[in-house]
Amino acid sequence: MRTSRSPLPAVSVPWTAPRRRLGRTGPKAPARPGALGVLGVAGQINLDYAATAPCAQVAADAVAELLPWYASVHRGAGALSQRCTLAYERARQTVGDFLGARPDDHVVFTRNTTDALNLLARVLPTGTRVVTFDGEHHANLLPWPIGTVRLPVPASPGSAVRALDAALRELRRGTDGTAPILVAVTGASNVTGECWPVTELSLIARRHGARIAVDAAQLAPHVPVSVSDLEVDYLAISGHKLYAPFGTGALVGRADWLDAAPPYLAGGGATAYVGAATHDVRWNTGPGRHEAGTPNLLGAVALGAVCAALDTADRAALCASEQALLSRLRSGLTALPGVVELSTFAPDSPRVGIVSFVVAGRDSAEVAAVLANEHGIGVRDGLFCAHPLARRLLAEASARSGRADLPATALRASIGLGSTAEEIDRLLDALPTVG
């Protein structure tokens, strides 16, 4: 993984330290006690993690520790600037390690997943064809160029794989096989929490000589994710969904397209040389090429701190705890009269801690308002920035349940670190009283 965008005088940064990989063997050191606890407000139940996860204690601590030292990043000779530069680049290394970045991959800090995927869309080689699905979040639907192939929402993981195979075979037909193709797919749906078959889709993409980018915004907070293990080319995440809500995300992936394209933003930090003539500019290679301007140091450090804490935690135990809460939530909703869950795949398909549902005969916005105002429970209502998918699932839910009185939008409850069985039960007890 390439990390530096300019030399760091008088600072020793462990650029070549052996990479730590997810799934490595051997015991893991325990995380610092309380590090993965999340901040909250007494009396308020937060079941809206899929929109913005609460702040992990370790992220808040990392920011508080660095704030007295806050100064410029890169090219500064003072002690404060040197420390901040070191913290920024160490955060880049940590994020890359957490996401299984390969030695030649870039880790580019962005604002969020949407920003990361827009960056990737900007660096596509001329003539690249993009293939995605109608089930994507808008961040993985809207940035791509005209001519993008949007496949219908599949009924199962297997049908997603078959549809992609057929689409790529058709795109390759009649060409010399060298035209660039990018497959863009989610890792886990932000509407249903269902996990997509990324490993199988990656295999199909490679078989047809295509690259694959994964929107991991909803996947990375819940399960280990590695570009190396998944054999994908690009991965995008958001810090605000990964318990580091300080305005930073990342695009991790292959360097060649990133180094060949014009900078995402033109400005200081992206330049290696600027001459007197307007267009006499040489751009940097590496992550800095696309990080012009003063970077979000505190956001990067917060994200790195959470990644480090999660990488030393018992992820299997965390996943098991979340799955138990998810099962409690889904079975409880099923038992409530008039409540219908939205789903794309079969009920037993793997999923993370996200459930969308409707209450028959009740406007979802009104239900969410009552839950908030009378019960102190925060859930999301709407179409969740995935309008094509949400509308389709609402229509399917109406047909499946035989109910003609389902609302036009849905409710979404989402959980993660810090969620408890008591919070789930409070929601389940409150819903029948919303009349």
| Assigned token pair, 146 | 């005209």
pLDDT of residue 285: 87
| Assigned token pair, 108 | 């580019």
- Please give the Cα distance from 290 to 284 (Å, whole number): 9
- Please give the Cα distance from 33 to 43 (Å, whole number): 24
- Cα distance from N-terminal residue to C-terminal residue, the chain: 55
- One-letter amino acid of 266: A
How far are the Cα atoms of 14, 145, 362, 410 from residue 119, in angstroms, in the given order? 27, 12, 40, 31
- Please give the Cα distance from 166 to 427 (Å, whole number): 43
In this chain, the answer to whether the domains covering 67-311 and 315-433 adopt an identical fold is: no
Chain CA centroid to CA 85, Å = 25
pLDDT of residue 92: 98
Phi, psi of 339 (to 5 degrees): -95, 130
Residue positions annotated with a catalytic role: 385
- One-letter amino acid of 190: N
pLDDT profile of the chain (435 residues), mean per 10? 39 29 33 72 97 98 97 91 96 98 98 98 96 97 96 97 97 83 98 98 97 98 97 98 97 97 90 83 90 95 98 96 98 97 97 98 98 98 98 97 96 98 98 89
- Please give the Cα distance from 205 to 395 (Å, whole number): 31
Tell me the CATH class for 315-433.
Answer: alpha beta
Q: Is 282 helix (H, G, I), strand (E, B) or coil?
A: strand
Domain residues of the chain, as ranges?
Answer: 67-311, 315-433
Q: Is 269 left (phi over 0), alpha (psi -120 to 50) or beta?
A: left
C-alpha triplet 50, 53, 55: angle, nearest 5°: 175
pLDDT of residue 59: 98
| Total-model pTM | 0.91
Chain CA centroid to CA 236, Å = 6
For strands 339-341 and 354-359, give the pairing: antiparallel
Give the residue ranges of DSSP H helices in 29-187.
57-66, 79-98, 113-122, 157-172
Find the helix or strand (DSSP H, E) in which 315 lies: helix 315-334
> CATH code for 67-311?
3.40.640.10
Contacts from 275-284 at CB under 8 Å and sequence distance 24+? 284/5, 284/6
Phi, psi of 50 (to 5 degrees): -70, -20
pLDDT of residue 205: 98
